[in-house]
Amino acid sequence: MITELNQRLGGSATQPTPVKAHYEKYVYPDLPRLASVRGCDAYALNLEALWARFNGERLDPNEGRILLAGCGSFSPYPTAVANWRTPITALDLSTANLNRARQHAWLHLHFNVDFIEGDLTRATELFSEQAFHFIDCYGVIHHIPDDAVALRTLHALLKPGAFARIMVYSRCARRSIQAARRALRLLEIQNVQEIRALCRKARSGSRFRECVDAAPEAAFDSGLADLFLHPYARTYFLIELLAKLDQADLELLGFIHPGALPDIGAEIARLRNLETARTLTTNFILFAGRKEDASRRRVWKDFKARQETWVSLNPVIKKFLPRFPLIPIKPAPRLGFDNPVINFAEKRLLARFKTPVAKSVIEPDCLEAVEKRLHALFLIETQN
């Protein structure tokens, strides 16, 4: 069945595309099968919370649909941790990636994921148009030569009101890595062992040694291969990325890379200044939605400013809140900024919202703290 599907999507078991062949050889990320994530760290992948943020509506988790567009070998597991009742589709070119991803999910008792081998640029042949409420396309677009088609496919697969999380390489942040990739190609170095030999020989303080030492993924073979041996890795200046989104009729909804400002205009200005100074050190991570849904988002923004709304716990935080230990715990930052520490007082604050609370009845001296937790997505705000 997988062979037939692969042939339908333009490849074959005997003649895979270069990108597919790379991931068949180097499963990425190559984490131990029993590697686990803390439940509280998955809060920013919860579809109910994200749908509320962008639409102000409550979405039945059983009716939502999530697509992992280029799932790699691990992401289906944390996505299932965050969405234990929602159907998830994991799409990837690589059989090896899918097999490992299935092992991670099943070993942690998550069985709500369908694993499908296929090419994102031809995914409309597999799925109905506008089929998903949330598409996660993290670290994928920059590995697809026809990125314009890939972005248009994302648009076609989004339901009204839906959104995609996208991460692509920054030209500025990846400058040293791209230079090393070119040098290794000139030296005709084609395997990880030769790269490791070069690393051992590289003097401390050299550009190549600093490049490798600065990349956490270089600690394991598949990470090193992804850095330097991937057959296609494009990088983007911000203006290029924004133009690509615009051409695909996708609207930027906000950046969530480390240090991102909540105001989109201010963040664009900040990023362009960093690019001009050649000091940008992060890749681009963002949410995007269909342009035709812009009026829908404006209606929610206006409603929130003028009418009664209800505040409740992010379902992931609600599920794992009773399990938080007495010692303070800090969920990993997923939206571009550090999270509040959940200590005893914080737990008491959050516990107030296990059932929805009208925003109008929240005490004025507590409202600022609530707004911060809404910003952090620990809490969600809806019309009803």
* pLDDT for residue 373: 97
The last residue of one of the domains, among 211, 228, 245, is: 228
Question: What tokens were used for 242?
Answer: 């924004």
Mean pLDDT (whole number) for 343-371: 95
Please write the tens of the pLDDT for every residue from 58-73: 999 999 999 999 999 9
Residue 378 and residue 326 share a domain: yes
Clarify whether residues 216 and 135 are in a common domain: no
For 83-116, the pLDDT digits (tens) are 999 999 999 999 999 999 999 999 999 999 999 9
Q: Which of 60-64, 257-261, 317-321, 368-372 has the lowest mean pLDDT?
A: 317-321
Q: Are residues 109 and 217 in the same domain?
A: no
Query: Pick from 46, 54, 108: which is nearest to 77 by CA?
Result: 108
121 and 191: one domain?
no
Say what percent of the chain tops pLDDT 70.
Answer: 95
Answer yes or no: do 255 and 270 share one domain. yes
Q: Say what the pLDDT of residue 325 is.
A: 62
The total of structural domains in the chain comes to 3
Q: What does the mean pLDDT of the chain come to?
A: 93
Host domain of residue 39: 2-172+233-299
- The mean pLDDT value for 118-140 works out to 92
Q: What is the pLDDT of residue 203?
A: 87
pLDDT at 12 over 70: no
Residue 129 shares a structural domain with residue 210:
no
Please check the confidence at residue 335 and state whether its pLDDT lies above 90.
yes
Mean pLDDT for 131-139 is 97
Q: What is the pLDDT of residue 205?
A: 84
Instruction: Indicate if 22 and 99 belong to the same structural domain.
Output: yes
- Per residue in 262-314, pLDDT (tens digit) is 999 999 999 999 999 999 999 999 999 999 999 999 999 999 999 999 999 99
Note the pLDDT of residue 323: 67
What is the tens place of the pLDDT at every residue in 202-242? 888 888 988 988 888 998 999 999 999 999 999 999 999 99
CATH number at residue 277: 3.40.50.150
Q: Are residues 24 and 143 in the same domain?
A: yes
In this structure, the answer to whether residues 27 and 40 fall within a common structural domain is yes
> Is residue 139 domain-shared with residue 60, that is, in the same domain?
yes
Q: How confident is the model at residue 326 (pLDDT cuts 50, 70, 90)?
A: confident
| pLDDT given at position 128 | 74
**Which of 186, 211, 228 finishes a domain?**
228
Task: Report pTM.
Answer: 0.94
Residue 181 and residue 168 share a domain = no
Q: Which of 268, 299, 330 is the last residue of a domain?
A: 299
- Does the structure show a pLDDT above 60 at 133? yes
Report the pLDDT averaged over residues 134-146: 97
Burial state string for 332-358 with b = 16 or more CB within 10 A and e = fewer than 16:
eebbbeebbebeeebeebbeebeebbe
pLDDT tens per residue across span 32-89:
999 999 999 999 999 999 999 999 999 999 999 999 999 999 999 999 999 999 999 9
pLDDT of 331: 94
Predicted confidence (pLDDT) at residue 8 exceeds the cutoff of 60: no
> Which residue would you say has higher pLDDT here, 168 or 323?
168
Confidence band for 375, pLDDT divided at 50, 70 and 90: very high
- Position 1 scores a pLDDT of 34
Within this chain, do residues 276 and 321 fall inside the same structural domain, yes or no? no
Which one is predicted more confidently, 309 or 1?
Answer: 309
